[in-house]
């Protein structure tokens, strides 16, 4: 059982797109509207992406970027808070956190896709050089 759980967590961390699809389909199955199911899936996947992106970067380039990712997230939260403060009279914390979290989903998803593409291209180039 312990090994199965370890394997499942590893698969989810290494393939967050799979987690997104599973959560989205599960949400649709329990009758959550399409946009809400998409939002829930992106929220769950964002947490996984916070681990996946630094791990993928470490595997490809042997560089640790976890602290940089946390710093980027805090800076983006400060910027979003400042923008909300300047445009609205009262800051709604729940709405602000949702915006920050969803923005992180977009950034991390894009980064993950780019990292995967770079990894595939790098593997193809290494294979062609070996042949």
pLDDT digits (tens, 9 = 90+) for 29-81: 998 887 899 999 999 999 999 999 999 999 999 999 999 999 999 999 999 99
What are the sequence ranges of the domains in the chain?
Answer: 2-130
The Cα–Cα gap between 76 and 73 comes to 5
| CA 50 remoteness from chain centre | 6
Helix (H) / strand (E) element for 30: namely none
Nearest-5° angle of CA 97, CA 101, CA 103? 115
29 is written with which tokens? 């199955």
pTM for the whole thing? 0.90
């Amino acid at each position: 059982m312990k090994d199965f759980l370890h394997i499942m967590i590893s698969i989810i961390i290494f393939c967050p797109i799979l987690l997104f699809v599973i959560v989205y389909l599960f949400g649709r199955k329990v009758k959550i509207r399409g946009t809400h199911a998409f939002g829930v899936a992106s929220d769950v996947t964002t947490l996984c992406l916070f681990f996946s992106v630094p791990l993928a970067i470490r595997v490809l380039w042997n560089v640790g970027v976890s602290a940089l990712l946390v710093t980027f997230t805090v800076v983006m939260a400060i910027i979003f808070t400042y923008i909300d403060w300047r445009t609205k009279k009262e800051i709604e914390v729940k709405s602000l956190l949702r915006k920050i979290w969803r923005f992180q989903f977009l950034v991390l998803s894009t980064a993950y896709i780019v990292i995967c593409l770079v990894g595939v291209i790098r593997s193809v180039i290494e294979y062609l050089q070996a042949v």
